[in-house]
Amino acid sequence: MKKFYLFLVSILIALTSVAQEHSDNYTVVVSLDAFRWDYANMYPTPNLDAMAERGVKAIMQPSYPASTFPNHYTIATGLVPDHHGIVNNTFWDSKNNRMYSMSDSLTRYDPQYYLGEPIWITAQKQGLRTGNVYWVGSDIPIKGYYPTYYRKWSDIPRLDFAHRVDDAIRLLNLPSDKRPRLVMVYFDEPDHTGHIYGPRSEEIKEMVISLDSLMGIFWNKIQALPIAKKVNMIVTADHGMTEISDERFIPIEKYIKKEWCEHIIGSNPTSLFTKSGCRDSVLKALEGVKHIYVWKKENVPDSLMYGTSDRLGDVIVAPEIGWQFSDVPRHLKGAHGYFPQLSDMKVVFRACGPDFKKGYVSKGFVNVDIYPLLCHLLGIVPEKTDGRWERIKDIVIKTSSKIITSRQKNITSREGNDNQPPEQL
């Protein structure tokens, strides 16, 4: 009994110590949906360039698949999509026999789909306030929690970009006893423009220039705050964008018979839930088809960290970059979702403020590493994560941090992995 009492005392002392070690600084995280890493090279971005000069510049790799909902929730949790459950923008829920879709309010706002623990919950459980403007998952009661302050995406009218900046500044202007230590803000461009016009168009150039200007305004408004010297700012994205065309299209129905599958879900990658005894027929039908990769679920290459979730089909089909594998062409000029190791899928990363090195160019990291980085900046203990502190700690001034635990996937030797995606990290 005495040992148990001493154990409880040691836990209380440890928790008190953690509370006392919270950082006095604030962190703002901005996501510019589908802002490719090289947009800053292709188009004029003086404000992002200035952030690099006064802080850190890097190329960040997303997680697979390189799409919006999976990667925003990955940044928030530090878990790859295969582990946090949002395995694609659309997927089949076999347990409840229904489709999850980011555009379906019934499933989008159902907390059972969001596994892991977002950074705003980790922070709030340890006594910090958080603020959020439209980040994926922030308007859903995950584990019964919302951010301290948040906006619901479904509320109309939705804030335009300028008012999203103002809303973040409003939160940072709150009295100290109500002010959030972490503010996360989402902007749904240049994704839309990239889809419609492609990543090498005059329209995307104009959008990139506009967003860069907005980031300059955001930074200047932060500098006008009384707490300006205590604010870190991170600008990044969820995934990149590549050029596609209807000429590079592979029709599913040409190869797959409807009677072979219960469900065919998603277009990049595609999950095929085959009927009993039909998986080999599907694999044989797709064998040798050019411009696609095909795997049994259990044989998806380890480098993608994909294939263990029960929300994935027993056959996974991934098109080569620039190609479509679907029922009909998308009639768009830009797309994403491809292997995250590919250059077109990688994203911008800029960070500056009191905790970051100045004029530093990082060798790069993966977006799961953002979660341990944010825990370090906030001075909180992280949950288990797929992120690696060792891979990202070089960008901050002080690298001493609480123990960063790692949730590593149990990778075993697999057969049939010769069909590997290119450019592995």
| Mean pLDDT, all residues of the chain | 91
pLDDT digits (tens, 9 = 90+) for 353-397: 999 999 999 999 999 999 999 999 999 999 999 999 999 999 999
Question: What number does CATH give the domain 257-331?
Answer: 3.30.1360.180
> Per-residue pLDDT for 242 more than 90?
yes
pTM (predicted TM-score): 0.91
> Per-residue pLDDT for 106 more than 70?
yes
CA torsion 405-407-413-416 (nearest 10°) is: -140
Burial readout 106-140 (b: 16 or more C-beta within 10 A, e: otherwise): ebbebeebbbbbbbbbbbbebebbbbbbbbbbbbb
**pLDDT bucket at 277, cuts 50 / 70 / 90:** very high
CATH 2.60.40.10, domain 24-244+339-395, yes or no: no
- 413 by DSSP, 3-state: which? coil
> Per-residue pLDDT for 83 more than 70?
yes
Q: Domain spans of the chain?
A: 24-244+339-395, 257-331
In this predicted structure, which of 12-21, 53-62, 259-268 has the lowest mean pLDDT?
12-21
**pLDDT bucket at 3, cuts 50 / 70 / 90:** very low
